[in-house]
Structures are given as C-alpha cells and as structure tokens.
Amino acid sequence: MSDIKVITSPDILNTTEFSFLLVHPSKIVKEQFQNLLAQFDNGFHVYLYEQKDDSVEWLVSVFHKADIVILDLDNSPSKIKDLTGYFLSKDKTYWLTKGGDTYYNIISRNQIFDLDYLTNILGGKLEKQ
C-alpha cells in the first residue's frame, strides 16, 4: 500500500516524493483521484487547496513544487480563476470544466473530462518513482 500524505496551507514538505496539487476539487474529482492513486504502489504528496480563505501565496508556492496540477475550474472561486491563465500555461496542469465555449483550449490542450484520462498519461511517470 502506498504512503499518501495530504498537505494543506500553510504546510509545505521539502522532499523528493512525487507530488500533486488539487485546486478546488469537487467531491467527484476527489473520489476519482483516490481511485487513480490506488492503482500505484508509490508514495505521493497531495497538496490540497480548496478553502476560499486559503493563502494564494501558498497556492502559487506549491504550484511550483508540484509535479502534476489538477485544476477544477467549475469549482474554483473568482480569485483562483484570475490565476487560471498562468496555471494553464504550464504543461503539468490538467484542467476540468463542463463549460463548452472557453478560450482556455488555446492556452492549454490538457483539458480532461474526468481523471480516468490521467491513468495513461501518468502511468509511466508514476511507475518510475
């Protein structure tokens, strides 16, 4: 069984573990994420940003540390949406939205519709750890 550490603001772990950042994940995204990680035996760090009063500075700091970022646009408040263009400009960010017409596809081709899409993408990266 893998060792998974969930980290929230203001904590940051300075280790070499593969790390994820989940930004305002819905309950469904959390369940899918749990199922995704259950497929691997490695240890992971999961930074979780979901409270409206969390520090944006902390979010930006852990964004730079995370190996993979999962951004749930539909569940994010406006102050996070202000940072969306920056987050999506990085290849490590995968994003979900049910919104149809969006310019975000111009910035990033990493739109996913559920976390099952990440299984194939992440398989090689996670097994090498």
Q: Which CATH number is 101's domain given?
A: 3.40.50.2300
Domain that holds residue 102: 4-127
CB 37 within 8 A of CB 17: no
State pLDDT tens for residues 8-31.
Answer: 999 999 988 899 999 999 999 999
Query: 51 vs 63, which has greater pLDDT?
Result: 63
Quick check: 124 pLDDT over 80? no
Burial readout 85-108 (b: 16 or more C-beta within 10 A, e: otherwise): eebbeeeebbbbbeeeeeebeebb
Sheet holding 18-23, edge to edge: 4-7, 44-49, 18-23, 68-72, 93-96
Query: 36 vs 48, which has greater pLDDT?
Result: 48
d(CA 18, CA 52): 26
The number of domains in the chain is 1
